[in-house]
Amino acid sequence: MKKIRIGILGYGSVGSALVELIGVEHDAIAARTGLDLEVVAVAVRNITPERLAALGADVLTSDAKAVVADDEIDVVVELIGGVEPARRLILEALGSGKPVISGNKELIANVGAELFVAAQKSNVDLLFEAAVAGGIPLLRVLRESLVGERIKRMMGIVNGTTNYILTQMSENGAQYGDALAEAQQLGYAEEDPTADVEGGDAGAKAAIMATIAFGTEVFAGDVYQEGISQVTADDIASAAHMGHIIKLLAVVEEIDGEVSARVHPAMVPDTHPLASVRNSFNAVFIEGEAVGDLMLYGHGAGGNPTASAVLGDLIAASANLQRGISSGLGKLREARIRPMGECISAFCVHVTVRDRPGVLAEVAGIFGEHGVSIRSMEQAAQADIANIVFITHPSREADVHATLSELRGNSSVVEIGSVIRVIAPEV
Amino acid sequence: MKKIRIGILGYGSVGSALVELIGVEHDAIAARTGLDLEVVAVAVRNITPERLAALGADVLTSDAKAVVADDEIDVVVELIGGVEPARRLILEALGSGKPVISGNKELIANVGAELFVAAQKSNVDLLFEAAVAGGIPLLRVLRESLVGERIKRMMGIVNGTTNYILTQMSENGAQYGDALAEAQQLGYAEEDPTADVEGGDAGAKAAIMATIAFGTEVFAGDVYQEGISQVTADDIASAAHMGHIIKLLAVVEEIDGEVSARVHPAMVPDTHPLASVRNSFNAVFIEGEAVGDLMLYGHGAGGNPTASAVLGDLIAASANLQRGISSGLGKLREARIRPMGECISAFCVHVTVRDRPGVLAEVAGIFGEHGVSIRSMEQAAQADIANIVFITHPSREADVHATLSELRGNSSVVEIGSVIRVIAPEV
């Protein structure tokens, strides 16, 4: 039986769930893996009486630097969040030959490449399953089960807050503001919800998904972001009328060696597996060349699910440490990040026009001139205006924007309403 | 770059897809893993001109025994199916220090325990991801990502044929016989569909799921099996009226150290993630103590998805072989298999009674006497009879059967109709 001495940085909801989980499952893990896991240090910024009572003075410390430097510690778990001081602490731990487990998406999405090199140099693991989609075993599946698979595209519902808001809007007809307020009241959304609702959180996760799936350097800043704050109850009702539900998707794809990573709301067909992902659940839909369609679904946040993902990494890294091996990412490729204008999306476009003879042909003609082909069209006339809903075939984003720009300048067009991307139905 | 020489036994749809996949992805795999995969032998029972043209005389052979004995071969992939001669060939390969990948559920579910011991003895891998749910990365997720997780229950849609039939019945109102005939015409169902429709195929997979999730010996013969041949269009319509869809589920759970493994149709609430698994897709819903609910969804069969799962195993086993390590299951526990009568299920029971005063109280009383508590009841009277649909709270199966038995003997009861288990809604 090999004793593994663990140092944890941070003791929030995930850290405390992890300490408890290691305690409860200690014997079962030892029986299954031969590893005797022991939490020997927990570093926090503030030592409170509650934390002292829970962990004891031998374990609790306010000196994170001492934890990563301690020769008595075998593995470091970083649950502080943010780039600094997490980055410096992890570099120090890796440099001294300690594997590191992190749940920190901001860190990995911004300075991951530097950390991967440091881990490789020391031949120890840097694992971060918990950084994307919480308890869902996504990254290990990509790195191991699908290591021989050519991933074409992944589409993820990777932000529970926005999925909760959109679910409330879909199922109860709530307006965005009311659903957000409810999410805040329930603790699903922060007081300042920007990172969730404007796509920043999902964007960091998209960068990590693209990095692991395609073996390329993709950083948070490479990800196109559009949030849900402009999505209205009308948009959702109109999408439902057409057999779709609106979801905030993180989409990553590889096309001819280039990578696209983007976050935006999209109309998902009701029969698509992503459509049934409700409330704060997360899911990632994977399209592989040989394996076809896969979806992984589960809790994307929360102390226990996230601690479960950290524990899986902790056991893997400890087993590798014992064997003197590591499961590095290999050398990351530098791939061109395809600009959004060059990406291909189908769109749903609401256009209000003056209801006069020939107007439909005129408007449809503008789509055609820009190479945007129309899949379906629905028109509702009221008095002297008509509301037309176009759904396009997949088209270059730049061509769609040129179409919209010309429509805005056309005298028959009263208004361009919502413009939302549309995901193709599953066969 | 390490050359890995692969011998494949069997060249059906999976074998041929695997050979092609290794060819197409060879360079990408080499770049990512440092492994130079080469198929050096494919053993088939019948050497046909087509196979000879595809593989060449150097690779194709009819001598499977020579392949497993060949010192020039590093890894063996068994895609023959059935217990013998697969078992003998695999024992020989493992005995000579070759890792083995198998996609053979029948083999693993019947004689897996013997093979695991042989693999452990030679310190090489025996991996069989493709044996359960085809391309879905289930077994590796259980063995690695969730190795620290206490799995409480798993419910799987693991037979594509029956899911296709039930989907057609649900969505098009087809009768069982017509949907089966259509599935046979499309090649989804065999001419003799027994193994699919009576639950044998799902039962073998349930045994493997329980073995891996709970670390216990569970064999195909331990699994309770009820198929879908008795499910009627009326049952499906009635379930739909109550907000449920009928699915064939493989259920495995661990309760107080004992294991239950069973296959039966069940009413799944429309809002449950399993409800949206349509046509021939498979999915496994996992309930873990810390991670909460997870679902893994994808193609459960087909040459390419299954070959993708085999390839993931092949790369893992090859990497382990190079390092001189193996990822054994450890020692399997012997756990009591809980008999079906002791298992807990909620039931939907259709009862036709003579419509006279007091009959409802009388019938409800019979449930109560046997300790079966009623969650909901709906009654439709027509002329002098009434059709009552009871849904019970989760109850001991034996108590429900005792209730049914007494109801059958009651003079007020005209007939007991369908009796179908009900899955509780997700919160």
CB interface of A with B, residues 266-285, below 8 Å: 271, 273, 275-278, 281, 283
CB interface of A with B, residues 33-72, below 8 Å: 33
Q: Return the percentage of chain B with pLDDT > 70, whole number.
A: 100
| Three-state SS annotation for chain A | CEEEEEEEECCCHHHHHHHHHHHHHHHHHHHHHCEEEEEEEEECCCCCHHHHHHHCCCCEECCHHHHHHCCCCCEEEECCCCCCCHHHHHHHHHHCCCCEEECCHHHHHHHHHHHHHHHHHHCCCEECHHHCCCCCCCHHHHHHHCCCCCEEEEEEECCHHHHHHHHHHHHHCCCHHHHHHHHHHCCCCCCCCHHHHCCHHHHHHHHHHHHHHHCECCCHHHCEECCCCCCCHHHHHHHHHCCEEEEEEEEEEEECCEEEEEEEEEEEECCCHHHHCCCCEEEEEEEECCCEEEEEEEECCCHHHHHHHHHHHHHHHHHHHHHCCCCCCCCCECCCECCHHHCEEEEEEEEEEECCCCHHHHHHHHHHHCCCCEEEEEEEEECCEEEEEEEECCEEHHHHHHHHHHHHCCCCEEEEEEEEEECCCCC
User: What ipTM does the predicted assembly reach?
Assistant: 0.94
Asked if residue B176 lies in contact with residue B233, where contact means CB atoms within 8 angstroms, the answer is yes
Exposed/middle/buried for residue B63 (C-beta within 10 Å: 0-12, 13-18, 19+): exposed
Report, in angstroms and rounded to the nearest whole number, the Rg of chain A calculated over CA atoms.
24
> 3-state DSSP call for residue B8?
strand
Does B417 score more than 90 pLDDT? yes
Asked if residue B223 lies in contact with residue B203, where contact means CB atoms within 8 angstroms, the answer is yes
Q: How far apart (Å, rounded) are the C-alpha atoms in residues B301 and B130?
A: 9
**What are A286's two structure tokens?**
């994977």
Report, in angstroms and rounded to the nearest whole number, the Rg of chain B calculated over CA atoms.
24
Q: Find the catalytic residue in B3, B65, B98, B205.
A: B205
B297 and A295: CB-CB below 8 Å? yes
Per-residue pLDDT of B346-401, as tens digits, reads 999 999 999 888 899 999 999 999 999 999 999 877 778 999 999 999 999 999 99
Does B32 score more than 70 pLDDT? yes
Stretch (H or E) spanning B269: strand B258-269
Model confidence band, residue B427 (pLDDT cutoffs 50, 70, 90): low
Asked if residue B229 lies in contact with residue B176, where contact means CB atoms within 8 angstroms, the answer is yes
Residues in chain B: 427
Q: What is the pLDDT, as a whole number, of residue B426?
A: 66
Asked if residue A315 lies in contact with residue A29, where contact means CB atoms within 8 angstroms, the answer is yes
> 3-state DSSP call for residue B384?
coil
> Of B97, B96, B100, which is closest to residue B80 (Cα–Cα)?
B100
In the chain, the amino acid numbered A159 is: N
A230 backbone dihedrals φ, ψ, rounded to 5°: -95, -5
Q: How far apart (Å, rounded) are the C-alpha atoms in residues B427 and B272?
A: 9
Mean model confidence pLDDT for chain B: 95
Q: How far apart (Å, rounded) are the C-alpha atoms in residues B395 and B340?
A: 12
Asked if residue B62 lies in contact with residue B28, where contact means CB atoms within 8 angstroms, the answer is no
Q: How far is CA B2 from CA B31, B38, B97, B126, in A?
A: 12, 11, 17, 20
A137 touching chain B per CB within 8 A = yes
CB-nearest partner of A296 from B147, B271, B296 = B296
Non-local CB neighbours of A306 within 8 Å, separated by 6+ positions = A13, A14, A17, A103, A130, A134, A135
Per-residue pLDDT of B92-103, as tens digits, reads 999 999 999 999
- Give me the residues paired with residue A266 across strands: A247, A421
Does B327 score more than 90 pLDDT? no
A100-102: strand order across its sheet: A60-61, A35-43, A2-9, A75-78, A100-102, A126-127
Question: Which residue bears the tokens 């307006």?
Answer: A175
**What are A175's two structure tokens?**
């307006």
B186 touching chain A per CB within 8 A = no
Asked if residue A319 lies in contact with residue A35, where contact means CB atoms within 8 angstroms, the answer is yes
Q: How far apart (Å, rounded) are the C-alpha atoms in residues B415 and B398?
A: 20
Q: How far apart (Å, rounded) are the C-alpha atoms in residues B305 and B311?
A: 10
Asked if residue A275 lies in contact with residue A269, where contact means CB atoms within 8 angstroms, the answer is yes
A148 and B29: CB-CB below 8 Å? yes
Asked if residue B150 lies in contact with residue A25, where contact means CB atoms within 8 angstroms, the answer is yes
CB interface of A with B, residues 230-249, below 8 Å: none
Q: What is the pLDDT, as a whole number, of residue A426?
A: 66
Q: How far apart (Å, rounded) are the C-alpha atoms in residues A363 and B331?
A: 70
Q: How far apart (Å, rounded) are the C-alpha atoms in residues B140 and B135?
A: 12
A79 backbone dihedrals φ, ψ, rounded to 5°: -130, 35
Q: How far apart (Å, rounded) are the C-alpha atoms in residues A427 and A269?
A: 11
CB interface of B with A, residues 200-219, below 8 Å: 215
Omega of the bond leading into A273 within 30 degrees of 0 (cis): no
- Give me the residues paired with residue A100 across strands: A76, A126
> Of A340, A349, A399, which is closest to residue A378 (Cα–Cα)?
A349
> Of B377, B376, B358, B368, which is closest to residue B406 (Cα–Cα)?
B368
A150 and B28: CB-CB below 8 Å? yes
Exposed/middle/buried for residue A177 (C-beta within 10 Å: 0-12, 13-18, 19+): exposed
Q: How far apart (Å, rounded) are the C-alpha atoms in residues A284 and A280?
A: 13
CB-nearest partner of B312 from A29, A148, A273 = A148
Asked if residue B306 lies in contact with residue B21, where contact means CB atoms within 8 angstroms, the answer is no
| Three-state SS annotation for B123-192 | CCCEECHHHCCCCCCCHHHHHHHCCCCCEEEEEEECCHHHHHHHHHHHHHCCCHHHHHHHHHHCCCCCCC
B293 and A288: CB-CB below 8 Å? no
Per-residue pLDDT of B133-168, as tens digits, reads 999 999 999 999 999 999 999 999 999 999 999 999
Q: How far apart (Å, rounded) are the C-alpha atoms in residues B118 and B96?
A: 10
A141 and B146: CB-CB below 8 Å? no
Mean pLDDT, rounded, for B398-417? 96
For residue A280, the chain B residue with the least C-alpha distance is: B427
A291 and B305: CB-CB below 8 Å? yes
Q: What is the pLDDT, as a whole number, of residue A397?
A: 97
CB-nearest partner of A29 from B148, B295, B316 = B148
> 3-state DSSP call for residue B410?
coil
Q: How far apart (Å, rounded) are the C-alpha atoms in residues A49 and B62?
A: 73
Q: What is the pLDDT, as a whole number, of residue A425?
A: 81
Question: Which position has the higher pLDDT, A26 or B331?
Answer: A26
Q: Tally Cβ neighbours within 10 Å of residue B178.
A: 15
Whole-structure pTM value: 0.95
What's the farthest any 2 CA atoms get from each other in chain A? 83
CA angle (A161, A163, A167) in 5-degree steps: 120
Per-residue pLDDT of B35-81, as tens digits, reads 999 999 999 999 999 999 999 999 999 999 999 999 999 999 999 99
Residues in chain A: 427
B143 touching chain A per CB within 8 A = no
Q: How far is A287 from chain B (nearest CA, A)?
A: 10
CB interface of A with B, residues 305-324, below 8 Å: 305, 307-309, 311-312, 314-316, 323
Q: Find the catalytic residue in A98, A105, A205, A247.
A: A205
CB-nearest partner of A145 from B29, B137, B271 = B137
Model confidence band, residue B21 (pLDDT cutoffs 50, 70, 90): very high
In the chain, the amino acid numbered A237 is: A
In the chain, the amino acid numbered A227 is: G
For residue A329, the chain B residue with the least C-alpha distance is: B32
> 3-state DSSP call for residue B222?
helix
CB-nearest partner of A291 from B31, B290, B298 = B298
Asked if residue B422 lies in contact with residue B266, where contact means CB atoms within 8 angstroms, the answer is yes
A205 part of the active site:
yes
Q: Which residues on chain A are in Cβ contact (under 8 Å) with B33? A: 147, 330
Residues of chain A with pLDDT under 50: none
